[in-house]
């Protein structure tokens, strides 16, 4: 993909209108929010339109969630999870019943063996005719047991495949619910969950870190070129973050033009070097429309870095990284600032937007 290839704004479609409306209401583009606004804009639900209007221009996520549940009930995602869980429960019950039946069949087979063995021991002499009858009974019982085992094995394979399919559906929804609709990066919900795990292992936290980044003067870009161009710029910036992601680096879109990167197993120098690489890559990226030659740049990012060892928990880690980001903004933008280079001060901003489920 060539980052310089930026299409002209297309005619407004419902998807763009949904994102624009979410922006106006200061709501994140998470699947549930997108679903509700899409339902309102697609028509056919005037009650929902009225309910959204009654919320006012900036209802907040909690108020919006309550309205959506009152008007629409639970979201498709919630219903999908419930359906999948119910399906898994039914399939597991079927497997347990099948195993119980197989156990009963095995017990009956064992009883036949015991009775036959006892009958043979009780006879002082055994005729050829009697042995033939015993062989017939045992052959029939063995065939029945083997057929049952084959059926169980075959059915278990089928049920296992069905369970894997249900599991895949759940994983797909989880991925969707934790993915930013515009950039395809992990969203704020996924970021919050990852932040909770930073201090799960204190030894690993010694080499953990948080990088916060913000697109410089992004409001001016939106005001000058329009939101469709602003969205495309965010997508290109996100592609630079994606290129930096690895097993120990998780980048997320945490807000409108804000990004958060959680790092593990790296020294402070390595973390600041990573932030500098992303900063430099964005600065050198041409934000130019390949067809018209329109230049939407320069686009730059400011960064704040804080090591997990400098904070007692996720909240303090976020606030200190945010203070370092603020210092970068105050210092002229388009730079990386480490919290360790700052003096202590007051912190007010919280990292947590979503409560853990």
DSSP 110-172: HHHHHHHHHHHHH-SS--HHHHHHHHHHHHHHHHHHHHHHHHHHHHHHHHHHHHHHHHHHHHH
Sheet holding 301-307, edge to edge: 249-253, 258-263, 209-215, 301-307, 336-338
Cα(227)–Cα(241) distance, integer angstroms: 21
pLDDT in tens, 319-356: 999 999 999 999 999 999 999 999 754 444 445 544 43
Task: Determine the 3-state secondary structure of 302 from DSSP.
Answer: strand
Closest CA to 81 of 169, 165, 158, 210: 169
> What is the chain's mean pLDDT, rounded?
76
Q: What are the backbone angles phi and psi of residue 356, rounded to the nearest 5°?
A: -75, 135
Q: Can you give the pLDDT at residue 150?
A: 65
Cβ count near 311 (within 10 Å): 22
Query: Within a 13 Å sphere around the CA of 11, how many CA atoms are in the beta-carbon half?
Result: 0
Q: Can you give the pLDDT at residue 80?
A: 54
DSSP 300: -
pLDDT band at 144 (very low <50, low <70, confident <90, very high): low
Q: Contact 321/303 with Cβ under 8 angstroms?
A: no
DSSP 222-289: HHHH-HHHHHHHHHHHHHHHHHH-BTTEEEEE-SSSEEEEEE-S--HHHHHHHHHHHHHHHHHS--B-
Q: Can you give the pLDDT at residue 270?
A: 94
Q: Which residues, including other chains, have CB under 8 Å from residue 164's CB and lie 6 or more apart?
A: none
Token output for 72: 């629409």
Q: Can you give the pLDDT at residue 97?
A: 60
Element (H, E) at 338: strand 336-338
Cα(305)–Cα(240) distance, integer angstroms: 18
pLDDT band at 175 (very low <50, low <70, confident <90, very high): low
Q: Mean pLDDT lowest for which of 134-143, 204-213, 303-312, 317-326?
A: 134-143
What are the CA-CA distances from residue 110 to residues 107, 147, 167 (Å)? 5, 16, 37
Closest CA to 36 of 90, 82, 10, 73: 73
Q: What is the pTM of this model?
A: 0.58
Please calculate the CA angle 262-267-273 and round it to the nearest 5 degrees.
Answer: 75
pLDDT band at 177 (very low <50, low <70, confident <90, very high): confident
Cα(241)–Cα(252) distance, integer angstroms: 8
Given a cut of 80, is residue 296 above it in pLDDT?
A: yes
Question: Averaged over 38-48, what is the pLDDT?
Answer: 76
Residue 309 buriedness (CB in 10 A; 0-12 / 13-18 / 19+) = middle
Please calculate the CA angle 171-177-178 and round it to the nearest 5 degrees.
Answer: 90
DSSP 312: S
Cα(347)–Cα(325) distance, integer angstroms: 12
Q: Contact 308/317 with Cβ under 8 angstroms?
A: yes
Q: Can you give the pLDDT at residue 280?
A: 96
Q: Can you give the pLDDT at residue 277?
A: 96
């Amino acid at each position: 993909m060539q980052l310089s290839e930026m299409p002209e704004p297309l005619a407004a479609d419902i998807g763009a209108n949904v994102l624009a409306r979410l922006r106006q209401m200061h709501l994140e583009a998470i699947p549930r929010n997108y679903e509700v606004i899409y339902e309102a804009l697609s028509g056919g639900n005037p009650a929902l339109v009225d309910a959204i209007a009654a919320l006012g221009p900036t209802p907040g996520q909690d108020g919006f969630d309550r309205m959506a549940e009152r008007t629409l009930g639970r979201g498709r995602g919630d219903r999908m999870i419930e359906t999948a869980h119910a399906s898994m429960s039914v399939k597991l019950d079927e497997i347990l019943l099948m195993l119980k039946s197989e156990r009963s069949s095995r017990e009956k087979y064992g009883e036949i063996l015991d009775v036959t063995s006892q009958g043979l021991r009780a006879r002082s002499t055994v005729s050829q005719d009697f042995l033939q009858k015993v062989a017939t009974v045992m052959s029939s019982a063995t065939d029945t047991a083997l057929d049952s085992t084959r059926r169980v094995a075959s059915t278990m394979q089928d049920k296992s495949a069905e369970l894997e399919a249900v599991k895949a559906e759940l994983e797909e929804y989880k991925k969707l619910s934790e993915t930013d609709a515009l950039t395809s990066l992990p969203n704020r919900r996924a970021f919050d969950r990852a932040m909770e795990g930073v201090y799960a292992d204190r030894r690993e936290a010694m080499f953990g870190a948080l990088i916060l980044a913000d697109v410089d003067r992004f409001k001016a870009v939106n005001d000058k070129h329009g939101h469709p161009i602003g969205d495309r710029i965010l997508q290109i910036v996100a592609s630079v973050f994606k290129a930096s992601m690895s097993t120990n680096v998780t980048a997320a879109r945490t807000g409108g033009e804000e990004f958060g990167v959680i790092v593990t197993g790296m020294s402070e120098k390595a973390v600041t070097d990573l932030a500098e690489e992303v900063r430099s890559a964005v600065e050198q990226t041409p934000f130019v429309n390949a067809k018209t030659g329109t230049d939407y740049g320069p686009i730059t990012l400011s960064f704040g870095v804080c090591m997990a060892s400098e904070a007692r928990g996720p909240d303090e880690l976020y606030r200190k990284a945010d203070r370092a980001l603020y210092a970068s903004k105050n210092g002229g933008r388009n730079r990386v600032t480490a919290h360790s280079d700052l003096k202590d001060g007051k912190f007010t901003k919280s990292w947590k937007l979503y409560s853990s489920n």
